[in-house]
Amino acid sequence: AQSVSQHNHHVILSEAASLELGCNYSYGGTVNLFWYVQYPGQHLQLLLKYFSGDPLVKGIKGFEAEFIKSKFSFNLRKPSVQWSDTAEYFCAVNDNAGKSTFGDGTTLTVKP
Amino acid sequence: GAGVSQSPSNKVTEKGKDVELRCDPISGHTALYWYRQSLGQGLEFLIYFQGNSAPDKSGLPSDRFSAERTGGSVSTLTIQRTQQEDSAVYLCASSLGQGAHEQYFGPGTRLTVT
């Protein structure tokens, strides 16, 4: 069975601080990895994804994530956060048989 | 274009009643997912449809839960004999396919069982 673990439940940063949110997954087969974001009052939307190729992927709004196969990790990073990045962030893994597993989410609060 | 829509947006029901939740996916999306999100929790995968068929129903929490999809489009999630622990936000998402395709989420239905 696949599982996703997000280590930080709630992160509080000041503007311009650097961000790294941890995500580890457990699955033995081919995985497709995603980070989704839910801004206050909005739907979940895609930040970025990895399914093959360059393990460093770039997404919207300056976010990036690195897939490290040996560590079963897909951590999300941003060099300098803004107040508008306040949101809930979810890491997810899809197998190729339709199963999709999400982590419990990390709430990011950025203080202006 | 239109996104994923869900109805109703809010539903309050009495314990023991049946409820039906509806999801209209993005046109042309063959894959459709249902999730449950309880307060402070992540998204719990319930079921996945590819076209009208659901290859894996093991995510449904109990036999009180069922889902169907007709015409490769609209899907309904039915909860029979609702219990208080069924209270949650039920999210629907659709995508062009499984695996590497991103999912597009609807606004959710907030279900409260009193």
pLDDT in tens, B6-60: 999 999 999 999 999 999 999 999 999 999 998 877 899 999 999 888 887 889 9
Cα–Cα distance list, B88 to B44, B55, B56, B57 (Å): 11, 24, 22, 19
B55 contacts chain A (CB < 8 A): yes
pLDDT score, position B1: 56
Nearest to B48 among A99, A103, A105 (CB): A99
Phi (first) and psi of residue B85, to 5 degrees: -70, -10
**Fold designation for B5-113:** Immunoglobulin-like (2.60.40)
Tally of domains within chain A? 1
The answer to whether the Cβ–Cβ distance between A96 and B106 falls below 8 Å is no
Q: Where are the alpha helices (DSSP H) in B33-114?
A: none
Whether A105 sits inside 8 A of B100 (CB atoms) is no
Domain positions in chain B are 5-113
Q: Domain span at residue A22? A: 3-111
Residue A105's CATH number:
2.60.40.10
Q: With beta carbons under 8 A apart, name residues in chain A contacting B106.
A: 43
Is the pLDDT assigned to residue B92 strictly greater than 70?
yes
Q: pLDDT tens-digit profile of A20-58? A: 999 999 987 888 999 999 999 899 999 999 998 999 999
